[in-house]
Amino acid sequence: RNALFRLPARVDYRALPWVTYTDPELAQVGLTEAGAREQGDVHVLRWPFADNDRAHTERDTVGEVKIVTRRNGRIVGATILGASAGDLIVPWALAISQKLKIGAMANLIVPYPTRGEAGKRAAGAYYTPTLFAPRTRRLVRFLARFG
């Protein structure tokens, strides 16, 4: 855009994905886990393709989705190892470029069964510690008394 129309354009290198076309594919966008840890406290979420129904259907369960967030839930990196990793990294590049939090990806509706569901499940894992915290258990016990 800049060269043709003299319109200002910027490239956000934080959201620039790359893919290594090996078997299995490796795709990455944003910060790696190590890079994010250098910048501060992070939360790492993983979901293996061994727990994905589509991967079982295709008999190719090698790999995982790994998401790196700040403690406040802002997505800063994603790495995917497995079949179609280059295709699966796209929504994570969008999430990083738009500075989305993990809740946006956890609430995403994806078709079932697809490999893309692994990304949604990894995002949902962000809330697992809260759901099973002692405070939540006490609240559920209290509410169970009423009905």
pTM: 0.87
Higher model confidence: residue 3 or residue 147? Answer: 147
Write out pLDDT tens, residues 34-47.
Answer: 999 999 999 999 99
Amino acid occupying residue 104: A
ω before 113 within 30° of 0 (cis)? yes
Write out pLDDT tens, residues 66-85.
Answer: 999 999 999 999 999 999 99
- Residue 1 clears pLDDT 60, i.e. is over it: no
Residue 58: which pLDDT band, with cuts at 50, 70 and 90? very high
Question: What is the mean predicted confidence (pLDDT) over 91-100?
Answer: 98
Sheet containing strand 75-81, edge to edge, reads: 18-20, 26-30, 75-81, 64-70, 42-48
- Find, among 138, 69, 59, the residue nearest to 102 by Cα: 69
User: Domains of the chain (ranges plus CATH)?
Assistant: 11-144 (3.30.390.30)
Query: Considering the chain, what is the average pLDDT of its residues?
Result: 94
Pair of tokens at residue 97: 């470029």
Q: How far is CA 136 from the centre of its chain?
A: 25
- The CA–CA distances, whole Å, from 71 to 20, 23, 46, 95, 114 equal 29, 33, 15, 16, 28
